[in-house]
A and B are shown apart, each in its own frame.
Chain A
Amino acid sequence: MKFRSALATLSAVLLVAYSASSTLAEEQGVSEAGHAPLGSTAALVVSCSGCHGEGGRAIVSLEGLSADDIEARFLMYRRTTAGGSSMHRMARGYTEEQIRLIADYLGRKP
């Protein structure tokens, strides 16, 4: 009995010590670019869902759009100087690089 519980403790300590080497960051697949939920693109993309939703009714749902579609539209909003909608006004605040990252993140995966 005693031996068994000592063994259990030991293996628990070893397991926990081992697992500590894999950080939460790794588990979440965090990297600075990429599609990681804690990465910099994720923080950019959370600006979109307040209007475009995560499925369901929204101001233009992005569901089903490919990354290229999203990028092309976003860039169009950014370029159209005469455009007065809120998306036109906001698109001007994003760089082409940010737009590509956002489109890649949100676009339908093949």
Chain B
Amino acid sequence: MSVSRRQLLASGLALSAGLSLPRLARATRSAKLVVLGGGFGGATAARYLKRLLPSAEVSLVEPNEEYVSCPFSNLVISGLRDLSAQTFRYDALSREGIRVVRAMATDVAAASRTVTLSTGDKLPFDRLVMSPGISFRWDALEGYEESVVQAMPHAWKAGSQTVLLQQQLKAMPDGGVVLISVPPAPFRCPPGPYERASLIAHYLKREKPRSKLILLDSNARFSKQPLFTAAWQTHYSSMVEWRGASDFGGVTRVDAGTMQLHTDFDVERGDVINVIPPQQAGEIAQRAGVADATGWCPVNAISFESRLVPGIHVVGDATIAAPMPKSAFAANQQAKVCAIQVARLLSDLAPQATTLANTCYSYTTAETAISVSGVYRSDDGNFQNVSGAGGMSPADDQSGLAAREAIQAVDWFSAITRETFG
């Protein structure tokens, strides 16, 4: 487009003339795009929107100056990695012309298309992309409330909680018991609790070999189960115990005072207790009206537009996107596809179905990893597995794939965080 037109549009002249313009030209020239949440989904969405629509005003609303990545945080917990290697800033986004607004979004008014910020300011938008991640359901587990997270860290949002869990493990005497409570699915990072168990066991085996780790799980099955189970047998023998829903493993009540977890039939005392809380979409999703009764956000899989509120797109953990998992890989990719579809909508082009993919690596020791992959189509507005594709690393690892996957995971982390945060 000609520079003169861009300049004209920036001027009041063009604005008043704009009233009589066809919708298309108005929408694309002065498009105001707001992205809410600067995680794997939101930061990626902002960068892609700005790249696809250089003349649009792209704002990213995020309360924190730094983002601490959950992927690889289980390595931090087990003392294998420093938190600073997980910490990212938004400077690259600012340099690219994205307006990074350091605030919390406190409300979204769909009718007037404005986001209200914790600063009291209001941000108007033509289209809003939300990637608020998860929030914890404080009402869903008896005895579990916000004040308990110091005694029983969740470490399911990375940062000080990650470090706290690491310190508690360090302070625990040899022969201690570590408990991990796994909430009912769906939750962020389906293989995450089991990778955490593996890496904590890796730490205990070296530093506190008489200790024990018990997973108390609300679910009957879990991600990459045969591979994790085999790895626990091979590397940690009797140190790791998993108690699933069919053995009444699910935690029904927590008692921070006595450091006990109650299940339907048992009480377990732990020296270190990691309660991964029941989850739902980030709180702002409820306030914006894009979450349904499940607490998660139904979206059209082609455009990622909310099925409940037009003009608002949702990506990442907050969405109902099964069989796509709640992973950073998926959030990043959904954000890129969503940005393309938003740009198409602003250009009066219909959104197009596409193929998406996902791989989640999980460490089983410091030097070995396993993975699960999937390929998905969005044709009818829902995600569907492409049959014949995807699946887990082979159980019978003759070729040393687990060692190679441990290195691939490092390279994945490097590539995806560079694409997300610059």
Contacts and interface: CB of A to CB of B under 8 A. Distances in A.
Interface in B352-410: 352, 354-357, 359, 361, 371, 373-375, 386, 388-391, 393-394, 399, 401, 404-405, 408
Interface residues on chain B, size class: 35 or more
Interface stretch (B125-133, B155-163, B259-267, B333-341): B333-341
Nearest to A26: B347
Contacts of B418: 53-54, 56-57
A68 B354 CA distance: 23
B1 A19 contact: yes
26 contacts: A8-B13, A19-B2, A19-B25, A23-B28, A37-B52, A38-B340, A38-B343, A38-B349, A40-B354, A43-B337, A47-B355, A50-B332, A51-B412, A51-B415, A54-B418, A54-B419, A56-B418, A59-B411, A59-B412, A84-B399, A85-B408, A86-B373, A90-B373, A92-B389, A93-B386, A93-B389
A15 interface: yes
Given A20-B21, A20-B22, A89-B390, A57 B411 contact: yes
Interface of A: 8-9, 12-13, 15-17, 19-20, 22-25, 27-28, 30, 37-38, 40, 42-44, 46-47, 49-54, 56-59, 84-86, 89-94, 98
Contacts of B346: 24
Interface string B25-63: 100100000000000000000001001110000000000
Given A28-B52, A90-B390, A16 B414 contact: no
A108 to B, nearest CB: 19
Interface in B318-348: 329, 332-333, 336-337, 340-341, 343-344, 346-348
Contacts of B352: 40, 43
Contact of B389 (A22, A59, A89): A89
Given A25-B347, A38-B347, A93-B357, 19 more contacts: A12-B8, A12-B13, A16-B25, A23-B348, A30-B349, A37-B52, A37-B340, A37-B343, A38-B340, A50-B332, A56-B414, A59-B411, A84-B393, A86-B361, A86-B373, A92-B375, A93-B355, A93-B375, A93-B386
Given A15-B5, A16-B18, A94 B355 contact: yes
Contact of B17 (A16, A28, A49, A53): A16
A49 to B, nearest CB: 6
A23 B347 contact: yes
Contacts of B399: 84
Nearest to B389: A93
A42 B391 CA distance: 25
Contacts of B401: 84-85
A20 B408 contact: no
Max chain B Cβ within 10 angstroms of own Cβ: one of A24, A25, A58:
A24
A27 B271 CA distance: 62
A89 to B, nearest CB: 4
Nearest to B31: A24
Contacts of B357: 47, 90, 93
Contacts of B388: 92-93
Contacts of A23: 24-25, 28, 347-348
